[in-house]
Structure 1
Amino acid sequence: MSKQVVLVTGGSGGIGKAICMYLQQKGFIVYGTTRKVEKYKDFSDFNLISLDVHNVESIKSAVLSIVKKEGRIDILINNAGIGITGPVEETPEEAIDKVFNTNFKGPLRMIQEVLPVMRSQNSGLIINITSIAGYMGLPFRAFYSASKGALEVVVEGLRMETKQFGVKVVNLAPGDYATNIADSRYTVSASKDSVYKESYQMSLDLMNAHVDSGRNPNEVAKKIFKIIKTKNPKVHYTVGSFMQKFSIFLKKILPNNTFERLLLRHYKL
């Protein structure tokens, strides 16, 4: 069997780069994407191409170039995303639009462009990197949770639509991993007289500590490989620490107020 062709958005760093490196080592033909490919002139670990998930023409150009060269795209991994933190009351509308444009609409643009290729092949696999945060509303991360949760739900419907064409669609929700997401996230700056100033800062410090002490992103790459090798993959997968994954189970079985108290205690609110 010929090597499978994989397209990974957000492949220049963090989880995306770990996925690209791992799959390349496993014998896949890997294309990672970045918005500013000119910053990586000497990059040679895998094929790194220009793509902006906000720009339909950029997506069309990248997909067309891969299909022209390889003749197919077997696997799409929607990894590109951004973080956002801040009180709901004080988050500007343009920041809300930006996070949904990237984390929700971005993967959908990719899917809409790649699906015709996969349908013509009568085969394909789409894996969306969401977040364990997408399973629950979190204080000062509500919009991030919402953007990832929205993608989880859309994919539940999408995979039933594409099943007839041999295209499988799944979600993989990671917990905290050691990446540079904190450097690129949109952080709402609470004003000095904000009623949320103290509680927000405490929560922000805790979030950053979790990322700094996060697990190795190679775990996500290995989970991706297992999903690829699964004949009939599930719709939802998680990867992360035991407690992060267990929190999803707790949310399902505990009364709402009890689970909320656990979160309040965790975030010291």
Structure 2
Amino acid sequence: MSKVIFITGASSGIGKAIGEYLANKNYRVFGTSRNPQRIKDSKFPLVKMDVNDNDSIQAAISEVIFKTERIDVLINNAGVGITGPIEETPSTEIENAFNTNLFGPINVIKAVLPQMRKQGGGHILNITSIAGYMGLPYRGIYSATKAALEITIEAMRMETLQFGIQMTNVAPGDFATNIAAGRYHAPVLDDSPYKKAYSNTLKLMDEHVESGEDPLKMAKVVHQIIETKNPKIHYKVGAPMQKFSIVLKRILPDKVYENLLLNHYKLK
């Protein structure tokens, strides 16, 4: 029997790539979108869901369970980008980022767990970010949301292992997706003390996304994880230097590592 895969945020980018790849491997894939009726070319069914709306989460999961009687793998992929000087970023946008990137995935997991317990197991993969392993200038809120999800899942994983449920974090680096277009950018203000530094960093971040890796690479890694009997807790997927940056943060003195970031983003 084909495993049933449930992917949040599957109408574009990494989520879409994962869904198409797994569908081609004969998994039974369901994705979510806030506006599935707008997506005309999806290779797998899309269910209407907004991770910021608990009623919508419950309805989407109930719909999939009604059709399939199980959910074997949940892939928490839905998320939003956010950039800007933290001082100048509206509190409402900070709250939205945490709601979508942290509280949303937690609520989806909470909604799926009863079914996974009932069926005797399951696997939950959470798409985090290499940015969650370090505080990045002008991306601090995004880094914080992904770091919080990583740590939350480390704890939740230990709580749910007794039910035969696996949890895994998959942290991508820069991938060529439309995330930059959907990202909230705090405006570059003419009278801002951050104007020059933020503007330059913003250009650099967008260049990294445009030259990022093919989302198919993420899809292949996710497939390998799903087929692994005892998966690791953490996976990092990206360019070698992006993954190595995590190692450097672990071994270098704090200020030396900070200087590497300042130089990389041309902030000194």
Query: Could you say which TM-score interval applies, normalised by the shorter chain?
Result: over 0.9
Unpaired runs of 5+ residues, structure 2, are none
> Separation in 2 of the partners of 1:63 and 1:191?
42
Aligned to 2:31, what secondary structure does the other structure show? strand
Aligned to 1:122: 120
1:185-216: per-residue Cα shift (whole Å, max 9, x none)? 10000321100000000000000000001100
- Cα deviation digits, residues 108-134 of structure 1 (max 9, x gap): 010000011101111100000000000
Give the TM-score taking structure 1 as reference length: 0.98
Alignment correspondent of 2:85: 87
CA drift at 1:38? 1.8
Residue 265 of structure 1: aligned partner = 263
Contact 1:86–1:187 (Cα < 8 Å) also in 2: yes
Partners of 2:189 and 2:24 in 1: CA distance? 48
Unaligned runs of 5+ in 1: none
- Aligned partners of 1:90 and 1:190 also within 8 Å: no
SS at match of 2:50: coil
Letter in 2 for 1:10: G
Distance 2:35 2:68 in 1: 23
Task: Give the percent of matched residue pairs that are identical in Structure 1 and Structure 2.
Answer: 54
User: What SS class does the counterpart of residue 119 from structure 1 fall into?
Assistant: helix
Offset of residue 58 of structure 1: 0.5
| Aligned-partner SS, 1:154 | helix
Q: Find the residue that maps to 1:233 and give its secondary structure.
A: coil
Query: Residues 166-189 of structure 1: CA distance to partner in whole angstroms, max 9, x if unpaired?
Result: 000010000000000011010000
Q: Residues 44 and 204 of structure 1: is their aligned pair in 2 closer, same or farther, counting only changes over 3 Å?
A: closer
Structure 2 residue aligned with 1:76: 74
* Distance in 2, Cα, partners of 1:84 & 1:63: 28
Q: Is the 8 A contact 1:4 1:28 kept in 2?
A: yes
Aligned to 1:11: 10
Q: Which residue among 172, 184, 197 is the counterpart of 2:182? A: 184
Aligned AA for 1:168? Q
Distance 1:267 1:116 in 2: 45
Between the aligned partners of 1:94 and 1:7, the Cα distance in structure 2 is: 29
The letter of the residue matching 1:180 is N
- Aligned residue for 2:261, secondary structure, equals helix
How well do the aligned residues superpose, as a CA RMSD in angstroms? 0.7
Q: Distance in 2 between matches of 1:51 and 1:43?
A: 18
2:54 to 46, 53, 56: 56
Q: Matches of 1:228 and 1:125 in 2, distance apart?
A: 8
Q: Flag the 1:107–1:236 CA change in 2: closer, same or farther, 3 A.
A: same
Checking the alignment, whether the CA contact within 8 Å between 1:30 and 1:46 is kept in structure 2 is: yes
Q: How far did residue 51 of structure 1 move? A: 0.7
Q: 1:1-269 to 2 correspondence within 5 Å?
A: 2-40=1-39, 42-269=40-267
The answer on whether the counterparts of 2:57 and 2:108 sit within 8 Å (CA) in structure 1 is yes
* Cα offsets for 1:25-71 (capped at 9, x unmatched): 1110000110011212x345111111110011111111111111101
Specify the code of the residue in structure 2 equivalent to 1:23: L
Distance 2:59 2:96 in 1: 22
